[in-house]
Amino acid sequence: MMTKQPLISFKNVSKIYNNGTVGLKKVNLDIFQGEFVVIVGLSGAGKSTLLRTINKMHNITDGDITINGESITPLKGKKLCKLRSCIGMIFQNFNLVKRSSVLRNVLIGRVGYYPTWKSVLGIFSPEDKKKAATALQRVNLAEKIYARADELSGGQQQRVAIARVFMQNPKIILADEPVASLDPLTTNAIMDDLKNLNREFKMTVIVNLHSVPLALKYADRIIGLRAGELVYDKTITEVSEQDFKTIYQEEGAIR
Amino acid sequence: MNEIPKRTIIQKYHVRGILITVILSLLLIFSSIMTGVDWSEFFSNLGQFFALLGRMANPDWQYLNVVVQPIIETIQMALLGTTIGTAVAIPFAFLAARNLVKSLLVRGVTRFVLNLVRTLPDLLLAALFVAIVGIGPTAGVWTLAIFSFGMISKLFYETVETIEKGPIEALRAAGANKIQIIVFAVIPQVINNFISYFLYTFEINVRASTVLGYLGAGGIGVFLQRSLSSFRYDQTAVIIIAILIVVVIIDSLSNTLRERLL
Ligand SMILES: Nc1ncnc2c1ncn2[C@@H]1O[C@H](COP(=O)(O)OP(=O)(O)O)[C@@H](O)[C@H]1O
Ligand SMILES: [Mg+2]
């Protein structure tokens, strides 16, 4: 019988950093189209590393990662840019260009789709400008379109980052602790924005989170990492709060 | 037990600071002895200095008409030289920046070239270009261009290395290539510093170009040299005053602009 093909597939993936630190250890993982996956684990467990291997911001040292059945390991140059342009990424520190306008920051999500000379001259199509306005409306920042990014609060900056990702029209969204530097109220707004992209556009969302309650509230599926190893993987209906004790156990306590 | 940790003897008596001061003073004294700087001669010649000053006290104001054109030429030389130097320096600065270029080889070679260029004294350059392209402002422009290139490229790549790396990461993750990363993430972060350094270098070049003329590299310096060698100190006085005024105006203009920028 044919099983559904996973969108992203990790096959025995290991990542050892140049300095010898183990980032990931023999990770096997299938993620399917349209899932909202939350990755939890202690700080240093390898969550960021895992996320960044999917868009090759980090290269793996062993194993293979496929997206839609195609290995991404050999991708380089233009092909790599093409892959990245359809994977959105959200960061803990928003990573906006602070001195540029909100509009320009949102359009940045589109540069991967333009020839170099056009983007460099700032020639964006009318449709893309319209789409940028729509993206900002979605996150309730329509009136800030010409503001400078550093005039916005942290929560607003993260929403601009979400608009930037929306511009990419991504199949996959990777969010690395998107709410770690935000207050609880803004946290829910940001998580809702991500959930909406997941529901409305069937975008596959993978989020690293520190907070278990937040993971329980938003995830379809929770994955646990400990010291680079995948130690937990359950859909939200199977999860019990007890489980988190093992994920958050100190490394020393297991041995 | 909440005591402040004890300082070591070396820390307590500022041994290092005192040692450095003593060594530097000794070096200063030795070098003045070895180069044969004769302080008594310096002071006995003060009289001659004041005599010269006296002869300059009656500036030949008519000469101002002659001086205006070469002063403008000096400013133009400085502007052109700074602009050419900066234009060439920009790509080199990006190639030399650690946070943009991962390849040690590319960075190493670029920095080696930049260091080499910076070791060339501007007067040597001027003499060289006068010999190559002949007496005139062209030699001055090339000298200033190369001098600016050396200075600007270093100031620029050091600026590039201080920028936030978050935006670069975001651009990279969105599939941008190197050039797009530079245009969208790097330039907005450094442009104000770049303009500020450009103005600063222009300021220095205006001052430097007055001296370069001395070697025949065009501008007001040529007239300065001519007046001095013909003992027309009344004209020298006019030239010096004119240079001072221009330098003060350009300095304050560029300072005001730079303060606004940063
Ligand atoms: N660039 C790097 N070079 C070397 N070691 C790294 C680097 N990035 C992360 N690490 C190490 O890899 C391990 C996993 O890090 P990370 O993926 O950032 O964990 P998390 O995101 O779960 O906190 C940690 O021990 C960390 O110190
Ligand atoms: Mg992390």
Q: What is the CATH number of the domain that holds A11?
A: 3.40.50.300
Q: Is B96 part of a structural domain of the chain?
A: yes
Is B187 an 8 Å CB contact of chain A?
no
Q: Is B52 part of a structural domain of the chain?
A: no
Mean pLDDT score across all residues of chain B? 87
Same domain, B239 and B109: yes
Same domain, B170 and B200: yes
Structural domain of A105? 93-169
How far is Cα A133 from Cα A130, in angstroms, rounded to an integer?
A: 5
Q: Is B53 part of a structural domain of the chain?
A: no
Same domain, A12 and A62: yes
Which has the closest alpha carbon to B159: B135, B189, B138? B189
Same domain, A147 and A117: yes
pTM, rounded to two decimals: 0.83
- At residue B2 the predicted structure's pLDDT band, cuts being 50, 70 and 90, is low
Q: Which residues of B touch A99 (CB under 8 A)?
A: 188-189
Same domain, A52 and A176: yes
Min CA distance, B196 vs chain A (Å)? 16
CATH code, domain carrying B179: 1.10.3720.10
How far is Cα B42 from Cα B24, in angstroms, rounded to an integer?
A: 23
Same domain, A213 and A254: yes
Same domain, A115 and A234: no
CA-nearest residue for atom 12, ligand 1, is A23
Residue B3: DSSP 8-state: P
Q: Is B127 part of a structural domain of the chain?
A: yes
The kind and range of the H/E element at A60 are none
Ligand 2: distance of its center to the CA of B171 in Å?
19
CA-nearest residue for atom 7, ligand 1, is A17
Inter-chain CB proximity B169 and A161 less than 8 Å? no
* Predicted local confidence at residue A250, as pLDDT: 61
Tokens standing for residue B4: 């402040």
Same domain, A178 and A82: yes
Q: What letter represents residue A209's amino acid?
A: L
In this predicted complex, what is the ipTM?
A: 0.91
- Residue range B93-110, pLDDT digits in tens: 999 999 999 899 999 999
Q: Is B113 part of a structural domain of the chain?
A: yes
Min CA distance, B100 vs chain A (Å)? 15
Q: Is A28 part of a structural domain of the chain?
A: yes
Number of domains in chain A: 2
Nearest CA in chain B to A83: B175
* Predicted local confidence at residue A172, as pLDDT: 95
Q: Is B218 part of a structural domain of the chain?
A: yes
Is A20 touching ligand 1 by the criterion CB < 6 Å?
A: no
Q: Is A192 part of a structural domain of the chain?
A: no
Same domain, A161 and A97: yes
User: Does residue B225 contact residue B213 with C-beta atoms inside 8 Å?
Assistant: yes
Same domain, A33 and A112: no
Same domain, B195 and B244: yes
Same domain, B38 and B107: no
Q: Is A193 part of a structural domain of the chain?
A: no
- Residue range A195-240, pLDDT digits in tens: 999 999 999 999 999 888 899 999 999 999 999 999 888 888 887 7
Q: Which of A89, A97, A174 sits opposite B184 (nearest CB)?
A: A97
The kind and range of the H/E element at A45 are none
- Within 10 angstroms of residue B20's Cβ, the number of other Cβ atoms is 11
Residues 140-179 of A with CB under 8 A from B: 161, 164, 168, 174
**Angle A136-A142-A145 (CA atoms, 0-180°, nearest 5)?**
85
Residue A146: DSSP 8-state: T
Q: Which residues of B touch A48 (CB under 8 A)?
A: none
* Predicted local confidence at residue A127, as pLDDT: 93
Inter-chain CB proximity A89 and B174 less than 8 Å? yes
Structural domain of B29? 3-43
Mutate to test the interface with A, among B162, B172, B189, B195 (most CBs of A within 10 A): B172
Same domain, A52 and A178: yes
Ligand 1: nearest atom to the Cα of A228: 14
- Residue range A100-133, pLDDT digits in tens: 999 999 999 999 999 999 999 989 999 999 999 9
- Residue range B21-71, pLDDT digits in tens: 999 999 888 888 878 777 777 777 777 778 778 777 778 888 888 888 888
